[in-house]
Chain A
Amino acid sequence: MIEFDLQVPPSFLEALVPFLGKVFRETSGRFAGECFAPPDSGDEELDAAWREGLIEEGRADRLAFSRLLGNPKFVQGLVEVPVNDVDDVLRGMTELRIHLREHGLNSVNDEDLENGLIQVESLPQNVRISYLAYILLAEMQERLIREIS
């Protein structure tokens, strides 16, 4: 089991965890197949198998991430991920970050997002929570990758 403490104020997570749950439900498993099209093969069966494979395997990622999100310790800042779930959780977080970037953060330009030089206070309230969730997921990914390296 990989464990670490996020060291963020409880009020921060109390606001963000329900929001992450909402974003998680919005992605609802169809995402990967839509956004990662197969190379142009001219083979309809191959294309369909490609999309179905990504959607099917994406379900495992979502399930692993939902276990983390549903863990009562998570809202207190404690991240617990079974070693076998790490890859799935990392991918699940990436899927959420892509979704946040395309929806809640579509008014923020890519360069600012990539450099992380955004003043949170300058963002409108509805964009702010998406940005904070985006950063929190990035922080968790960094910590997980460090733990498994």
Chain B
Amino acid sequence: MENSLCWASFQKIYIISSLFPETETLPEVETEEQDELLRPWKVLVLNDPVNLMSYVVMVFRKVFGYDETQATHHMKEVHELGKSVLWVGEREQAEGYVYQLHRWRLQASLEKDD
């Protein structure tokens, strides 16, 4: 519930701004750009010295629906290796996850999955 509410709020603002497009015809999306959009993206969480381990585990559980074991595994990876890949998939959904992580004040970013 929490996840959909946060992302819904962001989407609402974005959709409203999209209701008033430019009047000129938009160019067709290039094949290269389409390929780019279809490539999988990684959601990365980076280590930070502020957030508590218990807080990070809780956020991973809320945002990704992970169980305690999975969430703790990723938290330890972030803590020990400096980052962890939390999710891989299409760009739009990955952006949604990064937004939710930012909402919880975790350092998160997107990276192409090569």
Q: What is the CB-to-nearest-CB distance from A59 to chain B, in angstroms, rounded to a whole number? A: 11
Residue among B18, B51, B55, B107 with most chain A CB within 10 A: B55
Task: Determine the chain B residues whose CB is within 8 A of the CB of A36 once the complex forms.
Answer: 102, 105, 107
- For the complex, give the distance between the alpha carbons of A70 and B17 in Å: 37
- B99 and A94: CB pair below 8 A? no
- A95 and B105: CB pair below 8 A? yes
Which positions in A face B, CB cutoff 8 Å? 32, 36, 38-39, 41, 45-46, 48-50, 52-54, 56-57, 87, 90-91, 94-95, 97-98, 101, 110-111, 113-114, 138, 141-142, 145-146, 148-149
Which of B5-13, B24-32, B82-90 has 4 or more CB atoms under 8 Å from chain A?
A: B5-13
Smallest Cβ-Cβ distance to A93: which chain B residue:
B55
- B6 and A57: CB pair below 8 A? yes
- B14 and A46: CB pair below 8 A? yes
Task: Determine the chain B residues whose CB is within 8 A of the CB of A56 once the complex forms.
Answer: 9, 13
Q: Choose one: B9, B14, B18, B55; the contact of A94 (CB below 8 Å).
A: B55
Q: Count A-B contacts at CB 8 Å.
A: 77
Main secondary structure of the interface of B (DSSP, over half): helix
Smallest Cβ-Cβ distance to B99: which chain A residue:
A50
- For the complex, give the distance between the alpha carbons of A145 and B14 in Å: 32
Task: Determine the chain A residues whose CB is within 8 A of the CB of B9 once the complex forms.
Answer: 53, 56-57
B34 within 8 A of A: no
With A57-B6, A57-B9 already in contact, the answer to whether A113 and B55 are too (CB < 8 A) is no
With A49-B10, A49-B17, A57-B9 already in contact, the answer to whether A39 and B50 are too (CB < 8 A) is no
With A49-B17, A94-B104, A141-B55 already in contact, the answer to whether A39 and B49 are too (CB < 8 A) is no
What number of B residues sit within 8 Å (CB to CB) of A?
Answer: 26
Task: Determine the chain B residues whose CB is within 8 A of the CB of A52 once the complex forms.
Answer: 13
With A50-B10, A57-B9, A57-B103 already in contact, the answer to whether A94 and B50 are too (CB < 8 A) is yes
- A39 and B95: CB pair below 8 A? yes
Known: A142-B52, A145-B55, A148-B58. 8 other contacts (CB 8 A): A32-B103, A45-B17, A45-B18, A54-B99, A87-B2, A94-B55, A113-B50, A146-B54
- For the complex, give the distance between the alpha carbons of A88 and B85 in Å: 26
**Proximity bits, B51-92, A CB within 8 Å = 1, else 0:** 110110010001000000000000000000000000000000
- For the complex, give the distance between the alpha carbons of A55 and B14 in Å: 14
- B52 and A138: CB pair below 8 A? yes
- For the complex, give the distance between the alpha carbons of A87 and B10 in Å: 18
